[in-house]
Chains A and B, each alone.
Chain A
Amino acid sequence: MKNKIDKNQEEITRKDAIKKIGNYGKYAALTALGTYLVLSPQKAQAASPETPGTGF
């Protein structure tokens, strides 16, 4: 019974496996290139909230 199941599974060689992962790796490189960070400075000079005053 056990042998039967094994025979039904797709068998790939080590070489093929690396090739398959390799392709995904390449697309991952593309994803990494498209990942970036946007930083916006303050639009005007600002004091921090603990400077005097709480609104009017």
Chain B
Amino acid sequence: MNSKTNILYKTTENKTITWFESSNKYLILEHTTADILKSLNKGISVNKIAEDLSKKLSVPVDATIDFIKNLEKKIYGAKEKNETEEIIDYKDIKVPKSFKFIKYYKVNNVVFKISYLSEKELSLVHPKFAHLVNEEVVNFDFEFDVFINNDVIFLFVDKKQIGSWNNKNIHYFQGKFSMEFIQKIHQKDENEWMGVFHASAVSNEKKSILFLGDSGNGKSTSLALLQAHGFTCLADDFVPIDIEKREVYSFPACISIKKSSLETLLPIYPELETTAEYNFTRLNKIVRYLKPNNNNYFSHLPCNDLVFIKYVKDSDLSCKKIAKIDAFQQLIPDSWLSPKKENAQIFLDWFASLNCYQLTYSKNEEMLKTVSKIFDNDL
């Protein structure tokens, strides 16, 4: 449920984006509607607001009173749907004494010791980070333990329990794992991040561009093509942006390449021919992992451009600026955004400063040229 305290307003094009701290939700309102909410929150009476609105729209005051009361009820009275959530107390869970797999991953000079109870736990994490394995290290900086106990997966960092997830929420376990990973690499707590975006981030060493779009639209394939043509892969699938600098930070995981992209990418990356294939039967997807070309996993760069990318067979190239409100609608449901008020304000200000594009392509060379132009502000 939304509450009347701690609301942020940001005017964007012909709408007002309104954020509620109590629910961490964003509403896209008409300016006038946002003004009505502001007046209600200031304690101005419904009758007074209704009179003003009645004059403004030349409708009878009875209608505007009804309207405002309904609006208030809809926005502040709506109850959240109760999602069934299993709450079990796992405080007393004991970390297993021995783990079947222990891997050391080196990210620049930071070493992680990650212990997996069995092959199952290993398969949930390791493939995306296998390129970071270092067999020679003896000392480590951080220790992660991953184990399944009674169909629940646990994550411990430096012997402290971070969380537990059932088998329907593996993607949240993996998200939390990645979050803990970047917190250690970049030495920032969760509150120091603005958000994590479901995107691919590419850089020209001076700045970065985020590629967004539904699964299967070619984000990762474009990223792989771009990193073969002089650009750097900053992050794939999990793109963190911080509060202090508002910059995209490197995330060292591999790029996941779907079977359907192999034909395009094999001539450039012959190593994909022999890399392990992971078959996700539930998703009907076969994926291989490609090492990112980034050689400094501490890097972070500003981002001024969001590109919603779409590969459409035989289509002509089209790249146009899109309305920010449209981009916002696509961006939010797929992102984790900090629920802190100061951070939400920074996110809204950052978003307002961006350029948003829709890029549709079928020929890789045309896509590469267009992306170069966006980097050079030459579109």
List A residues at the B interface (Cβ < 8 Å): 26-27, 29-30, 32-56
- Whether A46 touches B30, Cβ cut-off 8 Å, given contacts A26-B57, A34-B67, A56-B153, is no
Closest B residue to A40 by CB, please name it.
Answer: B25
Q: What are 22 of the A-B contact pairs (CB < 8 Å)?
A: A30-B64, A33-B36, A34-B70, A35-B30, A36-B28, A36-B29, A39-B26, A39-B28, A41-B26, A41-B337, A42-B333, A44-B176, A45-B176, A45-B336, A46-B172, A47-B171, A49-B171, A50-B256, A50-B283, A51-B128, A52-B124, A54-B283
List chain A residues, Cβ under 8 A from B125. 52
Q: Given that A53-B174, A56-B148 are contacting pairs, would A32 and B120 also be in contact in the complex, using a CB cutoff of 8 Å?
A: no
User: Residues of A contacting B64 with CB < 8 Å?
Assistant: 30
How far, in angstroms, from A2 to B195 measured CA to CA in the complex? 71
Q: Are B151 and A45 in contact (CB under 8 A)?
A: no
- For A44, the closest partner residue in chain B by CB is B172
Shortest C-beta distance, B173 to chain A (Å), equals 8
User: Which residues of chain A come closer than 8 Å to B283, judged between CB atoms?
Assistant: 49-50, 54
Decide: B67 and A48 in contact? CB cutoff 8 A: no
B331 CB → nearest A CB, Å:
9
> Is B333 a contact partner of A47 (Cβ separation < 8 A)?
no
B3 at the interface (CB under 8 A from A): no
Decide if A33 touches B67 in the complex (CB within 8 Å).
yes
- Specify which chain B residues have a CB less than 8 angstroms from the CB of A41 in the assembled complex: 24, 26, 195, 332-333, 335-337
CB distance from B153 to the nearest CB of A (A): 7
Interface size class of B (residues with CB under 8 A): 35 or more
The 3 closest A-B pairs by CB, nearest first: A45-B175, A47-B174, A53-B124
- Contact residue among A29, A37, A47, A53 (Cβ-Cβ distance under 8 Å from B123): A53
Grouping DSSP codes into helix (H, G, I), strand (E, B) and loop, the A interface class, with mixed when no group exceeds half, is loop
Alpha-carbon gap, A44 to B172, bound state (A): 7
- Tell whether A50 pairs with B215 under 8 Å between CB atoms, given A33-B67, A41-B337, A45-B336: yes
**B residues within 8 A CB of A30?**
57, 59, 63-64, 67
**Contact residues of B between 13 and 31, Cβ < 8 Å to A:** 23-30
The answer for the CA separation of A41 and B168 in the assembled complex, in Å, is 19
**Chain A residue with the shortest CB-CB distance to B18:** A36
CB atoms of B26 and A51 under 8 A apart: no
- A residues in contact with B171, CB < 8 Å: 46-49, 51
* B residues less than 8 Å from A38 (CB atoms): 25-27
A51 contacts across to B, CB distance below 8 A:
128, 171, 174, 237, 256
A33/B58 in contact, CB under 8 A: no
Whole-angstrom CA separation of A40 from B23 in the bound complex = 9
Q: 8 Å CB contacts to A: which residues of B101-135?
A: 120, 123-128
Give complex CA distance A39, B176 in Å. 22
Are A34's CB and B27's CB within 8 A? no
CB distance from B46 to the nearest CB of A (A): 15
Task: Tell me if B285 is interfacial: C-beta within 8 Å of chain A.
Answer: yes
Say whether B27 contacts A52, CB under 8 Å: no
User: Are B328 and A39 closer than 8 Å at their CB atoms?
Assistant: yes
A50 and B128 alpha carbons, distance in the complex (Å): 11
Question: Judging by beta carbons under 8 Å apart, are B282 and A45 in contact?
Answer: no
Whether B170 and A55, one on each chain, are in contact in the complex, defined by CB atoms closer than 8 angstroms, is yes
Interface centre among A34, A40, A52 (most CB of B within 10 A): A52
**Residues B278 and A34 in contact, CB atoms below 8 Å apart:** no
B141 lies within 8 A of chain A by Cβ: no
